[in-house]
Amino acid sequence: MHTQPPAALDSILHQHGHQPTELLQILIDAQALEGWLPAPTLTDIARALQLPRARVEGVAGFYSFLHTRPAGRYRVLFSDNITDRMLGNAELMDALCRKLWIEPGKLSEDGLVSIATTSCTGLCDQGPAMLVNGRAISQLTHRRINEIAELIRQQRPLDAWPTEYFHIDDNIRRRDTLLSLTMKPGEALAAAIARGRDGWLAEMQASNLRGRGGAGFATAVKWASARNAAGDTKVIVCNADEGEPGTFKDRVLLNSFADLVFEGMTLAAWAVGASEGFLYLRGEYQYLRPQLEAVLARRRAAQLLGADVLGQTGFDFDIRIHLGAGAYVCGEESALIESLEGKRGTPRIRPPFPVTHGYLGRPTVVNNVETLAKTCLIALHGGEAFAATGTAQSAGTKLLSISGDCAAPGIYEYPFGVSIARVLEDCGASDTQAVQVGGASGMCLAAYEFQRRIAYEDVPTAGAFMIFDGTRDLFEVARSFVHFFAHESCGFCTPCRVGTALLKGFMDKLADGHGAQADLADIDWLDRLLKNASHCGLGSAAPNPVIDTLQKFRPAYERRLVSLDFEPAFDLDAALAEARQLTTRDDPGAHLQTHEEDTP
């Protein structure tokens, strides 16, 4: 006996053409109906898409922003990057919980509101930040928290909240070639088309442009591989799943330079011969979607997208926006492709690589937002001009997302080769103890390394640049990143699934004052196993913050050790308290003698 899905769900299913590849998008839309995904809704979706229900449940359970239990009409998530913590997010969350009489992570009894934390929301330059039903609010203060508590209590719909809450600044502090570029939409594309596909790819080769997502793979080589791969429908994906803690450059590019990004995707399509494009937009940035759709519509109307782009017969290319839902691992390109296909974001076995077998088995290019925007410069001014800037191995400029202890956090564009010291001076940092470059998975640099330079050959980065002054505790910085990786591990492979959770346990043990020298040895051993044995970059990068801080800031760990030998993670005698209570005993015999010398 099959009942029809409710009308609202039915229309969502229709909107997405009943495509299994749209499963994640359908789940996101379906959740908007009631704020969560009740079990019958998953059953209805599975039936409509002719998928096993267990697979739908598998996907719904993977993404942090999808709820298979009631989560409240107001779902408040405090961004919990280390920079939010440094700006006092814990006190603010505590205050909001007290005002609304609820515990973190639990739904209020009337089903009105839940409050929890979430990984970095990409607003580190204007934190502390939160998401309310997916919408970003920055610059939280106690005053604003009071107002929000009142709005929730009065059950005011989000659309009726003061609009200034939802205002997000770009905070561009330094412009170089990319951020000072003024270009008419289509100008770069016309220049590339005039060169022909081969000529355009040759310019790309001459430019030495390398991927801005951090790994630094040569963009032209990726494009050429996809172009030469067998397969008719080739795909260009823009990776806007900017989840690395401390990174927010893509937010700014998508907010104020969307034409450059979409034009870059079209330039890639022209070189590769692709007809389908996706912008994979992280769930945290869904507030950008309406304006991005508007840019796409404008570009379609101007014949910059669609059939016969700019009048080139046979050059058909269009772009769709696909939302993520809170999963850092989807920034890994093969996990991102799985997610695009409507699946759990689990990284694939490689080879084969996406350039030959990507989205639905088709040749697929996955490029970072900034990489694609940069291709406009190459189309306009030529590859040689681009290659002439930066350093020999790192051509062009890099956008840095600067946050933490400095006077002017925000976006800074520098030619590659700039020193850490110069950046620190420009953003008004003083008494700097350490800089975390490249986010949680990047490098922690101590003061003696500040003459090092931002470049693939020295300090590579996707753009995060978090500054910690002399008052900060580098152990707590590393611990927050370890928590981040444990939360974001997809759980596919043993070392990362269990290893990140174990590492978190060890760091918490030290933080709780139960640390011993033996724990440092175990941490060291886990670090190595994670690095060696993990299935993807998430697992192998997860120990980086610990490795760096253990090496450079060891006293931050050692001052927490209570023993040079072994110390259990819990108090043995305290663990017996419940038994004592049950037996109403508290005599000396009901207590454990934990030290030999105490026994008479």
Partner 1 sequence: MTRQFLLDGQPVPFEDGQSILEAARQAGHYIPSLCWHKDFPAHGSCKLCIVKAAGRHVSACATPAREGWEVESNTPEMNGERRGLLQMLFVEGNHFCPSCEKSGNCELQALGYEYEMLSPRFRHFYPERPVDASHPDVLLDFNRCIFCELCVRASRDVDGKAVFALTGRGIDKHLVVNAESGRLADTDFSKDDLAAHICPVGVILHKGPGFAVPIGERDYDRESIRQKKLRDEEASS
Q: How far is the CB of 42 from partner 1 (least distance, A)?
A: 7
Among residues 387, 501, 576, 590, which is the contact residue for partner 1, using CB under 8 A?
A: 501
Contact 119, 487 (CB under 8 A): yes
* Four-residue CA torsion sign, 501, 502, 503, 507: positive
544 is a contact residue toward partner 1 (CB under 8 A): no
Alpha helices per DSSP H over 154-230:
187-207, 219-228
43 is a contact residue toward partner 1 (CB under 8 A): yes
Comparison of 44 and 370: residue with beta carbon closer to partner 1? 44
Among residues 55, 197, 422, 580, which is the contact residue for partner 1, using CB under 8 A?
A: 55
DSSP track, 342-409? TS--PPPPSSSPTTTS-GGGS-EEEEEHHHHHHHHHHHHH-HHHHHTSB-SSSBSEEEEEEEESSSS-
- Structure-token pair, residue 85: 């913590």
Q: How far is the CB of 244 from partner 1 (least distance, A)?
A: 18
- Structure-token pair, residue 251: 């937010």
Among residues 29, 125, 263, 488, which is the contact residue for partner 1, using CB under 8 A?
A: 488
245 is a contact residue toward partner 1 (CB under 8 A): no
Q: How far is the CB of 344 from partner 1 (least distance, A)?
A: 7
Span from 161-169, 278-286, 406-414, 484-492 in contact with partner 1 (CB under 8 A): 484-492
Cite the beta strand spans of 264-363 per DSSP E.
274-281, 318-323
Among residues 9, 60, 102, 478, which is the contact residue for partner 1, using CB under 8 A?
A: 60
Comparison of 144 and 483: residue with beta carbon closer to partner 1? 483
441 is a contact residue toward partner 1 (CB under 8 A): no
In the block, residue with structure tokens 């005993």: 585
Q: Comparing C-alpha atoms, which of 412, 464, 469 is closest to residue 438?
A: 464
CA angle 106, 112, 113 (to 5 degrees): 45
Comparison of 24 and 406: residue with beta carbon closer to partner 1? 24
The H or E element that residue 164 is part of is none
Contact 203, 395 (CB under 8 A): no
Among residues 26, 42, 237, 265, which is the contact residue for partner 1, using CB under 8 A?
A: 42
489 is a contact residue toward partner 1 (CB under 8 A): yes
Among residues 40, 105, 157, 199, which is the contact residue for partner 1, using CB under 8 A?
A: 40
The H or E element that residue 456 is part of is none
Q: 133 φ, ψ to 5°?
A: 45, 40
480 is a contact residue toward partner 1 (CB under 8 A): no
Span from 35-43, 306-314, 439-447, 586-594 in contact with partner 1 (CB under 8 A): 35-43
- Residue 415 burial (10 A CB sphere; 0-12, 13-18, 19+): middle
- For partner 1 (CB under 8 A), the number of binding residues is 42
Among residues 54, 230, 574, 582, which is the contact residue for partner 1, using CB under 8 A?
A: 54
- Structure-token pair, residue 3: 């009942």
511 is a contact residue toward partner 1 (CB under 8 A): no
* Four-residue CA torsion sign, 77, 81, 83, 85: positive
Taking CB under 8 A as the rule, which mask of x and - marks residues 63-102 in contact with partner 1?
xx--------------------------------------
Q: How far is the CB of 531 from partner 1 (least distance, A)?
A: 8
Three-state secondary structure string covering 516-543: EHHHHHHHHHHHHHHHHHCCCHHHHHCC
Give CA–CA dist 375/378, Å, rounded. 5
Among residues 6, 21, 57, 558, which is the contact residue for partner 1, using CB under 8 A?
A: 57
Taking CB under 8 A as the rule, which mask of x and - marks residues 517-536 in contact with partner 1?
-----x--x---x--xx-x-
CA angle 403, 180, 387 (to 5 degrees): 95
Comparison of 114 and 500: residue with beta carbon closer to partner 1? 500
Residues 547-566, interacting with partner 1 (CB under 8 A)? none
Q: Comparing C-alpha atoms, which of 537, 564, 560 is closest to residue 476?
A: 560
Q: 475 φ, ψ to 5°?
A: -65, -45
Q: How far is the CB of 349 from partner 1 (least distance, A)?
A: 5
Q: How far is the CB of 2 from partner 1 (least distance, A)?
A: 12
Among residues 13, 366, 424, 493, which is the contact residue for partner 1, using CB under 8 A?
A: 493
499 is a contact residue toward partner 1 (CB under 8 A): yes
Residues 335-374, interacting with partner 1 (CB under 8 A)? 344, 349
Residues 323-342, interacting with partner 1 (CB under 8 A)? 327
- Structure-token pair, residue 548: 């760096």
569 is a contact residue toward partner 1 (CB under 8 A): yes
Comparison of 53 and 452: residue with beta carbon closer to partner 1? 53
52 is a contact residue toward partner 1 (CB under 8 A): yes
Span from 106-114, 157-165, 491-499, 584-592 in contact with partner 1 (CB under 8 A): 491-499
For residue 227, what are the contacts with CB-CB under 8 A and spacing of at least 6? 201, 234, 271, 272, 273, 363
The SS3 call for residue 592 is coil
Among residues 8, 14, 18, 58, which is the contact residue for partner 1, using CB under 8 A?
A: 58
375 is a contact residue toward partner 1 (CB under 8 A): no
CA angle 70, 72, 76 (to 5 degrees): 125
Judged by the rule CB under 8 A, the positions of this chain that interact with partner 1 are 39-40, 42-43, 52-55, 57-58, 60-64, 327, 344, 349, 486-495, 497-502, 505, 522, 525, 529, 532-533, 535, 569
